[in-house]
Amino acid sequence: MLHIVFSYSAEKMVRHALKGKEGPFAGDVLSYEPQLQLGDLQDDRKRFRKWVDVYQVPGSDEEMAMFIKALRQAEQNVIEALRKEKEAVFWVGETAGDELAFLRLTTLLEEENALLMLKRMRGRLSAKDLEDVEPVVLTEETLGQYREKWQEISKQGDRLRIRRGNFAYDFVEDSVYDEQLLALLPDKEPVRLVVVAGELYSKAPHLPYYFFIWRIDCLKKTGIIEVEGEEKGIKTMSIKRLK
């Protein structure tokens, strides 16, 4: 039995829970984490560029090629492991990252002859879930619905995906949280940047923390806010509203 999870932390926990186990659920664990929360789902190169912008890091053509090569290798590893095991369980949490990665895999595995099952993780993943949550066998009809959902979401391109329920998303502009961000800033009084970013992240944990750091930088470039203490690093920086 192959177990497919969508983060390295989940892989570590499932491996520990399966250690020494025997029976139908014993087997290998693979992590597939393609980072699909941001960027164009139809173009891996454009998605890479979006992550480079958000994390404000260098992103050379060579680094992009390495990223895409690693992604393709991770997908090939899943395909080869599935061909060997013939059965797989997807452990899917209530996060955009898990759901979107699962949907992408259902499409990539369409031609594979294997028994696929789904375990929905409600809340924080724990070892107890191994016994408490029975996997659901995915019929061809159900898999077809998930593949249609993937196509539907992918067609939205680079629009920001806001998770509102099980495999349900709203598609909005990147600036959707800007008004909430500005509302956290008293008139011309500086506030620590990490406090503002942390407050927004607590309300939208489906997005990377650095998405909100990026939005602060975007507002700075438009002259709406001012950033103080940039030379000292992110932990000591403050932001102030100018308009």
CB 14 within 8 A of CB 29: yes
pLDDT value of position 132: 63
Domain positions in the chain: 2-154, 175-241
Task: Output the six-digit token pair for 59.
Answer: 């992103």
Q: Specify the pLDDT at position 231.
A: 75
- Minimal CA–CA distance to 85: which of 1, 25, 179? 1
Per run of 10 residues, the mean pLDDT along the chain (length 243 residues) is: 90 80 74 93 93 88 91 95 94 92 96 94 62 84 97 94 93 95 88 94 88 94 91 85 85
Would you state the CATH architecture of domain 2-154? 3-Layer(aba) Sandwich (3.40)
What pLDDT does 125 receive? 57
Look up residue 179 and give its amino acid.
Answer: E
Q: Can you name the residues that pair with 90 across neighbouring β-strands?
A: 4, 118
Say whether 87 sits in a helix, a strand or coil: strand
- Between CA 216 and CA 178 the distance in angstroms is 8
Say how many C-beta atoms besides its own lie within 10 A of residue 33's C-beta: 17
CA distance 105 to 32: 9
The string of DSSP codes covering 60-73 is: -HHHHHHHHHHHHH
pLDDT of residue 12: 86
